[in-house]
Amino acid sequence: MIDSKELFAKISGSSSDNEYFLPLPKGYQKGKTRYVIVMGTVMSGLGKGIFSSCLAKLLQDKGLKVAPIKLEGYLNIDSGTLNPFRHGEVFVLDDGMETDMDLGTYERMLDQNLSKLNFATSGQIYSSVLYKERHGDYLGRDVQMIPHVTGEVKLRLRELAMKTQADVVFVEIGGTVGDLENAFYIEAMRELAYEEGPHSCCYVALTYILEPSTLGEQKSKAAQLGIKQLLQLGVQPDIIACRCEHSVAEQARQKISVFGNVPFERVMSLHDSASVYSIPSMLRDSGIDFEVLRLLKIEDRIQLRHERKEWARWCDFMDKISKETRAVTIGITGKYTSVRDSYASILNALEHAGIHLGCKVNVKWIDTTDVIDANAGEYLKDVDGIIVPGGFGVRGMEGKIACVRYARENNLPYLGLCLGFQAAVIEFARNVCGLTEANSTEVEAECSEPVISVLPEQKKIEGLGGNMRLGGRDVEIKKDTLAWQLFGKETTVRLRFRHRYEVDPQYIKPLEDKGMTFSGKAPNQPIMQILELPNHAFFMGTQAHPELTSRPLRPQPMFVGFVAAAIKAAYKDESLKGPVAAAELVSKF
């Protein structure tokens, strides 16, 4: 029988007389990094990202270094051109990679800034393989799905392991086992365990237990068939997590155990929870974290003292959720409101801020398509603050501007994000500065007062997706402004961006002369990035997407200030802490 070290030596080469093929990162050590592979059966949308990130958090709390990666089956190079109605929000990483919204789940739960290393699509994989083929990297071999495409997938995982020095890499495969586009990913995972050796990989199957109301009992047949399909692909799951509305009955779990060839104690119920933040506790109570450690033989790497400290911090956070004594209603005025996932990060940022302020944040969804100045009050009469979120295109823009005007004139707390920043500039220019024809060149290409136009640095770049200002950028904060106070009196902060239009520099002074304060700008450039109105309860806008960097234990300062202002507006109590006092709270995180 061939020795594992000899095997690795053989397959690390690429020659025409050798059927073994495996490109390896320089210095890669087999067995140093372990892999947890999470796959779904029955249907998508079960929460693989939530499960995977929560399990990764438990291992991280134990002192292990974890690194997630999401493998998507679609042929797009990234998620930037995907319609929010079809795929939810586009989550932008600090390095500018536009990704699936699950990367936001990982960033929030693990409190990590991820990069392009943590995200791969079929389009990326195929493009890389074809590039190498054109450049002769395969030494004359015919390029095939196996071993070259699957080899590229494994190379991505191992490069991530090397560059992050992770103890455990968490691999989430999008979609379900039955999706044709996922077949090569699953085959790559089978090969990975073969090449890395015993105890190198832990396979987790997330499945769904049907609970038809007409029958009054749980049905596991669909889950059984999904697990069987996984077995047919050569993958034996080590753990099966059963999603269901209610706790999965022992009888159903026993059936899954028998048909899936998985010990009963590793078939767990992952039923619906009131809060996503209680899922780590659910997994911890089930003991699944230690099952993973035993399967991967890395019990000796954990640090129990570190775990006690981190778990205490998390429990303190969870305690705050149960102590919410007030409630506010925030209106989200957008055009993708029928798909809540379009604004997932905004919802999370509001929740984080509310928890730390002891307040339940309820959301009222307002589609701006039919909103005008005359009826804006009807739409907004029962909210304590409004957010105008980002978006692209003409539809709903005038409705957003009408909402901004109502908030400004009625002292209603306002937070504008990206397009919401631009809408605030247009509204102020029209109704305060007297520039009645003010608009954005995105909405009206030939407008006579283009207060919002294409960024100067982007005007020479052509091609959709090629002229975006993407990723993390430093922002200079003006002293003695609300932004300066909220950011802990820091003069430079880092925010994430995704836009191609900006305030035209020639209109900056006219806007400032009428009372608008630009409290944040790009270093050494006339690019305005944060605005505020000083004599308002709370009126801020930012060209950035601050919601992308909010974390459960570190809520985003602008959201904390906004929710604090909404509480003050809702309870009409001058003794309540408002945005400025909230800045003191932010500094403690």
DSSP 12-72: T---TT-S------TT--TTTSEEEEEEE-S-S-S-HHHHHHHHHHHHHHTT--EEEEEEE
- Our CA dihedral for 234, 236, 240, 244, rounded to 10 degrees, sits at 30
Q: What is the pLDDT of residue 391?
A: 79
What's the whole-model pTM score?
0.92
Q: How far is CA 349 from CA 130, 498, 551, in A?
A: 40, 18, 7
- Are the C-beta atoms of 565 and 579 separated by less than 8 Å? yes
Type of residue at 273: S
Length of the chain in residues, anyone? Answer: 589
- The reported pLDDT for the residue numbered 457 is 58
Structure confidence at residue 583 (pLDDT): 59
Residue 309 makes CB contacts below 8 A (sequence gap 6+) with none
What pLDDT does residue 369 have? 87
Residue 545 annotated as catalytic: yes
Neighbours of 188 (CB within 10 A): 26
Domain-located, residue 501 = yes
Q: What is the dihedral of CA 417, 375, 379, 550, to 10 degrees?
A: 0
549 in a domain, yes or no? Answer: yes
Would 486 be classed as within a structural domain? yes
Instruction: Give the C-alpha distances (Å, rounded to integers) separating 472 from 115, 493, 548.
Output: 11, 10, 10
On whether residue 475 sits in a domain, the answer given is yes
Residue 425 lies in a domain: yes
Quote the domain boundaries for residue 558: 324-586
Work out the angle between the directed axes of helices 183-196 and 4-11 (0-180°, nearest 10). 130
H helices then E strands: how many in the chain? Answer: 20, 21
CA distance 334 to 454: 22
Half-sphere exposure of 386 (CA within 13 A, CB side): 30
Give pLDDT, residue 1: 47
Q: How many CB atoms lie within 10 A of CB 551?
A: 17
The structural domain count of the chain equals 1
Cα distance between residue 144 and residue 516, in whole Å: 60
Instruction: Report the C-alpha gap between 414 and 333 in whole angstroms.
Output: 11
Q: Which residues of the chain have pLDDT under 50?
A: 1, 461-466, 589
Task: Spot the catalytic one: 418, 427, 442, 502.
Answer: 418
Question: Is 441 domain-assigned?
Answer: yes
Quote the CA–CA distance of 473 and 494 in Å, as a whole number.
Answer: 6
Instruction: Tell me the CA distances in angstroms from 544 to 360, 482, 498, 549, one per residue in order.
Output: 25, 16, 7, 11
Q: Which long-range contacts (CB under 8 A, 24 or more apart) does 100-105 make?
A: 100/70, 100/72, 100/174, 101/49, 101/341, 101/344, 101/345, 102/48, 102/49, 102/53, 102/70, 102/172, 102/174, 103/68, 103/70, 104/344, 104/345, 104/348, 104/548, 105/49, 105/50, 105/53
In this prediction, residue 85 carries a pLDDT of 67
Structure tokens given for 350? 């509001």
**For residues 400-421, b (16+ Cβ closer than 10 Å) or e, as one string?**
bbbbbbbbbeeebbbbbbbbbb
Rounded Cα–Cα distance for residues 104 and 156 (Å)? 20
Cα–chain center distance at 130: 30
In whole angstroms, give the CA distance from residue 119 to residue 100: 8
Is 230 contained in some domain? no
- CATH number of the domain at 473, please: 3.40.50.880
Q: Is the C-alpha dihedral spanning 560, 118, 389, 472 positive or negative?
A: positive
Structural domain contains residue 504: yes
Q: Is the peptide bond before 147 cis (omega within 30 degrees of 0)?
A: yes
- Residue partners of 303: CB distance under 8 A and separation at least 6: 62, 63
